[in-house]
Each structure stands twice: as C-alpha cells, then as structure tokens.
Amino acid sequence: MAAVSEKDLHELIDTRLVVECEAFRSAIMHGSVEWESDVIGAYHRLHRVERDTDGERNKDAWVTAHRDFHEVLLAGCPNSRLVAVAMSLRDAAELYRSASVSAMTEADEVRRDAEHLALRDAATGRDLARGPELLGEHIRMTARYLDGAS
C-alpha cells in the first residue's frame, strides 16, 4: 500500500479521473432503464441519510450510502474489469475520503448533495459530455476539502 501523503492523494485522484470517468461514460452509454432506476434509488437513499438529535448526519450510514451511490453510477458499464479497477481505486481513496467527510461544513454538505443530484441527473439524462465532467469535479473535491481543513 502506498504511504498516505499529498503526492499519493494527487496520484490517486489523477488515476481515478481517467478510470472512473471512463467507466461512468460507458455506463451512461450502455446502462439500462433498470440502471437508471437504481441510480435514482441510490441517490434518494444517500440524500435521505438520517440525522441524529444534534442534526448531524449519521456518518457511518452516509459513508455506506455514498459508496453504494457511486457503485451504482458505474454499474451500467458493461466492462466489469473497468468497474472493478474503478472501485478498487475508490476503496484506496477511503482513508482520504473519511478525512474529507470529517472536514466538511454544513455548507459543504449542501454543495456535495447538489453534486450528487447533478450526477444522478446526468446519468438518467444520458449526458455523455457533462456526466464524466461532473464526476471528475466531484473526485477533485476530496483534495480541496482536505486542503481547506489543513
């Protein structure tokens, strides 16, 4: 496993941008109507993660729903190897993503939810140009949240 570092984070993001965005582009091209329904359902579950009595989202439930949403976005891709590589890169990014979730403010949560909604809409709207672009920006935000927290 690579050491946790700024260099590793940026290399991981660069690789994810290539692999994950291509898998999403392919999912948009080839996903079925059932895939579209799965995307809508996964977004809904992510958006509706319950808040505790302090108004904070249940972080464990959010992490699970977030992973499920991103997995579903790629599930329409017919290239199972590409999806597997993309998901392994997402798994490798989990340590960084956990830190970025901890650093998020309420305004960041609102912005992140809007990003997920836009990804849902790009997927179901079959927007081949905008979908991968939105996903790329979403992936880059992990580093931005971490930079803002330091």
The tens digit of pLDDT for each residue in 89-127 reads 999 888 777 766 666 677 888 898 999 999 999 999 999
Is pLDDT larger for residue 85 or for residue 98?
85
Is-contact 82 22, C-beta < 8 A?
yes
pLDDT by residue (tens digit) across 130-139? 999 999 999 9
Q: Which of 112, 110, 101 is nearest to 138 (CA)?
A: 112
Is pLDDT larger for residue 9 or for residue 98?
9
pLDDT band at 80 (very low <50, low <70, confident <90, very high): very high
Which tokens sit at 20? 């994950």
Which tokens sit at 93? 């990014």
From CA 34, how far away is CA 50, in angstroms rounded?
Answer: 26
Summarize the confidence of residues 3-14 as an average pLDDT: 86
pTM of the predicted model as reported, rounded to 2 decimal places: 0.88
How high is the pLDDT of residue 87?
96
pLDDT surpasses 70 at 11: yes
Identify the burial level of 35 via C-beta atoms within 10 angstroms of its C-beta, where 0-12 means exposed, 13-18 middle and 19 or more buried.
buried
The count of residues in the chain is 150
How much of the chain, in percent, has pLDDT values that exceed 70?
A: 86
Handedness of CA 106, 108, 109, 114 (dihedral sign): positive
How high is the pLDDT of residue 150?
44
Summarize the confidence of residues 68-73 as an average pLDDT: 98
- Alpha carbon distances (Å) from 6 to 11, 13, 109, 147: 9, 11, 23, 10
Q: Which of 24-33, 49-58, 94-103 has the highest mean pLDDT?
A: 24-33
Which tokens sit at 98? 């956990």
Is-contact 2 8, C-beta < 8 A?
yes
pLDDT surpasses 70 at 1: no
Handedness of CA 103, 109, 110, 116 (dihedral sign): positive
